[in-house]
Amino acid sequence: SNGGGTTKRGDQLTEDKLSQLEMVDLLEIQPSDEGIAERLTQIQTYLKEKSAEIDEKFAEKKRKFSTGDELTTGVLKVVKVYLAVKRRIQPGDKMAGRHGNKGVVSNILPVEDMPHDANGVPVDVVLTPLGVPSRMNVGHILETHLGLAAKGLGEQIDKMLKQQRTIAELREFLT
């Protein structure tokens, strides 16, 4: 196309004439200056690449929209979380438990300075007494008691295994 017959070979192109031309007509112009011709070819290549990218993205979105996600029943969305940096915990970091409890680390002590039980086993974390009663829930209580019971049971079974007790004695103990 030649812009509706308004431009001919050898015509001077003004800004007004260029603004009236369609994109297809602009790309068909073959300037006599080789530098401008090369730049026009680069622009044309760039536009074709971008157009292909946009068409590809549109087709992908259209496909996703029409087919939907193939998730199992009951799953609304799959979320993947990646840990960017793994580092040692330090005072000021926030910690959270499995039951909605959270807090800020105030101090980190060596194992020998931590409180310990009657057997000399040190505790892992000390919670402030002010935050525990008001925010404690059933999950907290169950997890604490079941964990302590399981630990004690495991220690007793370990002691029996070290004494090489029979399977019948182990079964009797567990029932």
Distance CA 2, CA 21 (A): 9
pTM score, whole prediction: 0.39
Q: Using one digit for the tens of pLDDT, what is the confidence trace for 51-101?
A: 999 999 999 888 877 776 677 788 888 888 888 888 899 999 998 878 777
CB 106 within 8 A of CB 95: no
How many domains does one find in the chain? Answer: 2
Q: 3-state DSSP call for residue 95?
A: strand
Q: Which domain holds residue 132?
A: 118-175
Select from 38, 67, 96 the last residue of a domain.
Answer: 67
Cα 41 from Cα 46, distance rounded (Å):
9
Whether residue 46 is predicted with pLDDT greater than 90 in this model: the reply is yes
93 part of a folded domain:
no
Q: In the numeric block, which tokens belong to residue 66?
A: 């029409």
Q: Is 175 contained in some domain? A: yes
Query: Is residue 77 situated within a structural domain?
Result: no
> Which residue among 30, 48, 67 closes a domain?
67
Instruction: Measure the CA–CA gap between 15 and 70, rounded to whole angstroms.
Output: 53
Q: Which of 41, 4, 38, 8 is nearest to 21 (CA)?
A: 4
Q: Are 137 and 99 in contact (CB under 8 A)?
A: yes
User: Does residue 173 form part of some domain?
Assistant: yes
- Cα–Cα dist 3/23, whole Å: 10
Report if residue 104 sits inside a domain.
Answer: no
Residue 156 lies inside a defined structural domain of this protein: yes
67, 85, 106 - which closes a domain: 67
Q: Is residue 155, in this structure, part of any structural domain at all? A: yes
| Cα(85)–Cα(41) distance, integer angstroms | 46
Orientation of helix 138-162 relative to helix 167-174, angle to 10°: 160
The pLDDT tens digits for 112-149 are 999 998 888 898 888 777 766 676 677 877 888 899 89
